[in-house]
């Protein structure tokens, strides 16, 4: 029996995932978390075979939560879930230690297959993403500008594009406004952008917002 911890702040999504998994004979949802910190604590207090982790959590960015989980439990498989298209977050997630990445709109059968695969110690990516990566290798893969950013810089970009003020961004990221300003300056420099408006336009045109 594969014991799964689901970390997602949307009750309906957690219930849907639980129903799919509980209807599958070899897996059960044995824990539910609404925030990143709650998931981290539950993993310390209980035993799970894998984690289904939403990439957009209210308290911490999912990639940051992933890194903390892998630090505390290096062998624990984590399958990332997101409403974002795979090309936005999948590579970043896998580089940070995820065993797989799945769009929330994927078919239930794909979810079950992905869980079995990562629980057995393998990696999981969809056929579509595998094809994209293979095409990239044959065509001379070039990273998109936002893929060159660090996780903190990327988080700053997304918060900036969602209309957050500097003080709000600092509070969400648990950093000083000065540090967030440094991240903002770095991301503009790396992406060859001059203004916040250009960064916001880039984020919108590349579908970086939910």
**What's the structural domain count of the chain?**
2
Position 6 in a domain: yes
Domain that residue 153 falls in: 145-205
Q: DSSP labels for 132-184?
A: HHHHHHHHT----GGGGS-HHHHHHHHHHHTT--HHHHHHHHTS-HHHHHHHH
Residue 210 within any structural domain of the chain = no
The percentage of the chain sitting over the pLDDT mark of 70, rounded to a whole number, equals 90
- For residues 122 and 63, membership in a common domain is answered with yes
At 38, which CATH number? 3.40.50.2300
Express each pLDDT in 106-161 by its tens digit: 778 889 999 999 999 998 987 777 776 666 555 444 457 787 788 889 889 989 98
Does 87 lie in the same domain as 6?
Answer: yes
pTM of the model: 0.67
């Amino acid at each position: 029996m594969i014991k799964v911890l689901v970390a997602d702040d949307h009750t309906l999504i957690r219930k849907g995932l639980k129903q799919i998994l509980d209807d599958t004979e070899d897996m059960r949802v044995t824990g539910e978390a609404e925030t990143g910190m709650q998931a981290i604590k539950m993993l310390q207090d209980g035993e799970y075979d894998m984690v289904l982790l939403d990439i957009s959590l209210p308290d911490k960015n999912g990639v940051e939560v992933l890194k903390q989980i892998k630090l505390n439990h290096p062998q624990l498989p984590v399958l990332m879930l997101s409403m974002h298209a795979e090309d936005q977050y999948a590579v970043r997630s896998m580089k940070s230690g995820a065993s797989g990445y799945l769009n929330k709109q994927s078919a239930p059968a794909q979810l079950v297959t992905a869980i079995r695969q990562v629980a057995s110690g393998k990696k999981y990516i969809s056929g579509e993403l595998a094809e994209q990566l293979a095409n990239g290798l044959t065509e001379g893969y070039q990273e998109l500008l936002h893929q060159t950013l660090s996780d903190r810089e990327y988080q700053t970009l997304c918060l900036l594009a969602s209309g957050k003020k500097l003080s709000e961004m600092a509070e969400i990221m648990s950093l000083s406004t000065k540090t967030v300003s440094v991240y903002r300056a770095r991301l503009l420099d790396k992406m060859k952008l001059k203004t916040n408006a250009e960064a916001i336009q880039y984020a919108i045109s590349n579908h970086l917002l939910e």
